[in-house]
Amino acid sequence: MKAGVLFSGGKDSSLAALMLSRDYEVELNTFVFTPARTLQGVIKAAEALGFSHRMHVFAPEILEGAVASVIACGYPNDAINMVHRAAIGVLCRDYRVVADGTRLDDRVPMLTRDEVQRLRDCCGCSYVRPLLGYGKPEITRLSERLLRVQYGETGALENGDYEGEIREALAARGMSPEAFFPPHHMQSLVVGRA
């Protein structure tokens, strides 16, 4: 059975994919807001892991809603959760098993228990979070053992994190993304297996 894994190219989604590959045929799925965005770093990460990879483009209203949410709330959490729910919803139409790299201490993206049950009941889709019991220290240990990872601040790496394009959309409106997002937010990009 296939499992569609939301894939940013980072260590968390990569570890989730590796864990699921023991029991499922894993297909990696990356979502972007702009059709021209190719994310070569993410494509290379998928190749290094040895899984098939698909790119998806969100409908334009998803980015508009995310930017409006960031501006209205003054912080990005609700917007990123909204975008994440939209991505999972798309994958639930293509896969019976959908997964991501959310972990124990993540605040965002994070679906509630009710949202997870709704996916199962309404879509017939199982939403799997293989890292949910793992905290950041254990994820770091596992990724150091299994993966070669590059680190950098948001925007410095060509990964598939939603945050980068939301920041760009705010800047295009003449707003400073730094006013809404935490400073020095580190991202990861897998560059190979260890």
What phi-psi label fits residue 143: left (phi over 0), alpha (psi between -120 and 50 degrees) or beta?
alpha
Q: In the predicted model, what is the mean pLDDT of the chain?
A: 95
For residue 54, count CB atoms less than 10 angstroms from its CB and return exposed for 0-12, middle for 13-18, buried for 19 or more: middle
Strand ranges inside the chain, DSSP E:
2-6, 25-32, 52-57, 97-99, 126-128, 147-153, 186-193
* Statement: residue 120 has pLDDT above 90: no
pTM over 0.75: yes
Separation CA 166–CA 12 (nearest Å): 20
What phi-psi label fits residue 70: left (phi over 0), alpha (psi between -120 and 50 degrees) or beta?
alpha
Q: What domains are defined for the chain?
A: 2-193 (3.40.50.620)
How confident is the model over 21-35, as pLDDT tens digits?
A: 999 999 999 999 999
pLDDT band at 16 (very low <50, low <70, confident <90, very high): very high
- The percent of residues above 70 in pLDDT, for the chain, comes to 100
Please tell me the predicted confidence (pLDDT) of residue 1: 95
Separation CA 181–CA 127 (nearest Å): 28
How confident is the model over 51-103, as pLDDT tens digits?
A: 999 999 999 999 999 999 999 999 999 999 999 999 999 999 999 999 999 99
pLDDT band at 185 (very low <50, low <70, confident <90, very high): confident
* Statement: residue 175 has pLDDT above 90: yes
